[in-house]
Chain A
């Protein structure tokens, strides 16, 4: 493909993707440019409106958390409360053993995610960097497990956990979930992209497999680890069914299950339900906002090739 040497500074600046080259004449090109700008403007508007539509349900949820039921029924078109009430928040805090729930959910989501990152990265490392028999078959099998709906294995897993004596225990909650096919997949893709020179340099210095893993690969994998952390942590934090099945005692309950208390058969407590939903979302939102800058980077380097 013929490329001329564009040496002028302006041309160089225009080499960034997405930026049209500067036109040098008017006429039909100028019309085209204006149409292009208009089109760009319209598409920006659509994107911004889209973002507003994305965020609107959450804003509304927040509003309902502080509205009285009467206010809600009387004027549903309002986004913000006309009659404020703390009833919802109070109901959530009073009726739920809040500290206990938060602790349980943190231990479950946090503990499982950390174990998961460890085990998945170890497996991904072996799949990406080491050689062993049955490597490809193993990878395919792991991927296949992604395709099985959770409800299928629920009862057999419950019976297994029961036989181990792990019901109502942290290990029963955490250990069965301490690995994830999606995590293994993404990590493997990411590791494959890392330059092999790093490994080789270390091995020449006498590093064994574990050292390469721990001191070379992992530190270079921060973006994908952060991405995976937020994805898995969120999924586990929001997991409703699993903790409910494994822990029958209120001592061990997690937050999502407790929230369903406010939607019983005898009336819906809208403000409590929405307040509870907002409260359960907050830690995730914070973690998300802190880690979100890693996402694009993390996903980019997996290459998804």
Chain B
């Protein structure tokens, strides 16, 4: 009955210890080490998990085909996941060679601070195989240049326009899409249909969290803003307060939009024909059309401050301590080059992230619309290292409070105090 002798036990223990050390020592983190038969393998981590993933993949495939000595593999995971994995992965030098850290351009600051991202200036130039940053839209270039160095290229470039459901407009007797803020408000009210206290159709689908921001546009239309160029809060300026009061009253009293929607909810509300209008970016167009909506798109209506809309760009960065930074830079150069950007615009509907392609795309109405909005577009919380904190800790909660009836003056006042504390603004 004695299955183990004492000596056997000691041997067993020694073997176990040996096994553990062996296993601990041998492991290469499962990363395909670079060259296999002369082809450099690059990995790219992105957050493009939606219907637009196919467009990015198409670009990657074309690059691989035209560059037989480099092979890029793109993976897409939810943005929250990328944000969790990337910092530690890049800090240890074991992460992907290329990555989009977040859909928020303000996310680059942390990777710069921890020296995880490669400055790209050495690869910038107008020659072939070089990154032509002078062709980037200026908002993009300034968003990605920190302390005079370029740290990212645009993975995409988006502006927001007003989508509307033509059938719903016709049913409400509205002949044309709104071009001024006054028309915008009137249409939103008219298109909101409710019976017995329950809203069956919303005029406008607004989102306040986990979304590309829409509320800043409503402020900008009247000359309001959130911060100024020095990082001091302007969210409590008279223009901001009146804009926010006006629009929050429309939501609270006229029910033009549900409250508390995340970006995805807002999109789905519009694509399911329960809302007549939505401010959104180029990625949504194909989804709406395939949902069977008689889709119309116009530039965001003009308010007292002139034409304005929101621009957003996703940063694409290179791992600083990666083994193949030269090839990664080559990929970026190709990606932002004319051929790739042209193709990307054509298949995705995004405007190109280059300012020298205008005429080539004039045939494509969608792309032209988004591209034409670029000249009036502003970035949300541009260039601030604290932008992520301001967004999640201050701005979003403030909008949520206002939507639920909080006093606008006091909500904006406390938001301003918080912002100034975060940015260190002296006023």
Contact = CB atoms under 8 A, between A and B. Distances in A.
A263 B94 contact: no
Contact of A266 (B1, B27, B269, B284): B284
Contacts of B28: 165
A210 to B, nearest CB: 5
Chain B: interface residue count, which band? 35 or more
Main secondary structure of the interface of B (DSSP, over half): loop
B273 A70 contact: yes
A287 B153 CA distance: 49
Given A165-B26, A168-B29, A261-B78, A266 B3 contact: no
A145 B45 CA distance: 34
A63 B53 CA distance: 28
Contacts of B81: 244, 257, 260
Contacts of B45: 248
A244 B82 CA distance: 9
Contacts of B4: 208, 210-211
Contacts of A159: 88, 92
Residue of A74, A169, A247, A264 with highest tally of chain B CB at under 10 A: A264
B29 A270 contact: no
Nearest to A260: B78
Nearest to B78: A260
B49 interface: yes
A30 B409 CA distance: 69
Interface in B212-247: 212
Interface string B259-295: 0000111011101111000000001100100011000
A248 B52 CA distance: 21
Interface in A202-232: 202, 205-208, 210-211, 214
B75 A266 contact: no
B267 A205 contact: no
A265 interface: yes
B278 to A, nearest CB: 11
B24 interface: yes
A109 to B, nearest CB: 19
Contacts of A210: 3-4, 9
B265 A268 contact: yes
A253 to B, nearest CB: 9
Interface in A257-289: 257, 260-261, 263-268, 270
A248 B96 contact: yes
A250 B210 contact: no
Given A166-B27, A207-B1, A248 B89 contact: yes
A155 interface: yes
Given A159-B88, A166-B29, A267-B287, A248 B95 contact: yes
B85 interface: yes
Contacts of B84: 241, 244-245
A36 to B, nearest CB: 45
B211 interface: yes
A60 interface: no
A168 B92 CA distance: 14
A74 B81 CA distance: 33
Contacts of A73: 268-269, 272-274
B63 interface: no
Nearest to B87: A155
Given A167-B94, A168-B29, A260-B81, A211 B268 contact: no
Nearest to A151: B84
B77 interface: yes
B3 A214 contact: yes
Interface in A132-177: 155, 158-159, 162, 164-169, 171-172
B51 interface: yes
A268 B283 CA distance: 14
B27 A261 contact: no
B9 to A, nearest CB: 8
Contacts of A265: 50, 79, 103, 210-212, 263-264
A236 B24 CA distance: 23
A106 B211 CA distance: 35
Contacts of B197: none
A132 to B, nearest CB: 15
B50 A162 contact: no
A298 to B, nearest CB: 27
A169 B29 contact: yes
Nearest to A169: B30
B406 interface: no
B360 interface: no
B31 interface: yes
Interface string B60-82: 00000000000000011111010
B92 A211 contact: no
Given A72-B272, A167-B94, A208-B3, A268 B264 contact: yes
A83 B23 CA distance: 54
B176 interface: no
Contacts of A69: 268, 271-272, 291
Contacts of A250: 75
A127 interface: no
Pairs A-B, 8 closest by C-beta atoms: A168-B30, A165-B27, A73-B272, A264-B50, A167-B29, A266-B50, A267-B267, A264-B49
Interface of A: 69-70, 72-74, 155, 158-159, 162, 164-169, 171-172, 202, 205-208, 210-211, 214, 241, 244-245, 247-250, 252, 257, 260-261, 263-268, 270
12 contacts: A69-B268, A247-B30, A248-B75, A248-B95, A261-B77, A261-B78, A265-B210, A266-B263, A266-B267, A266-B287, A267-B264, A267-B284
Given A252-B30, A265-B79, 7 more contacts: A165-B26, A169-B29, A210-B4, A260-B49, A261-B77, A265-B264, A267-B51
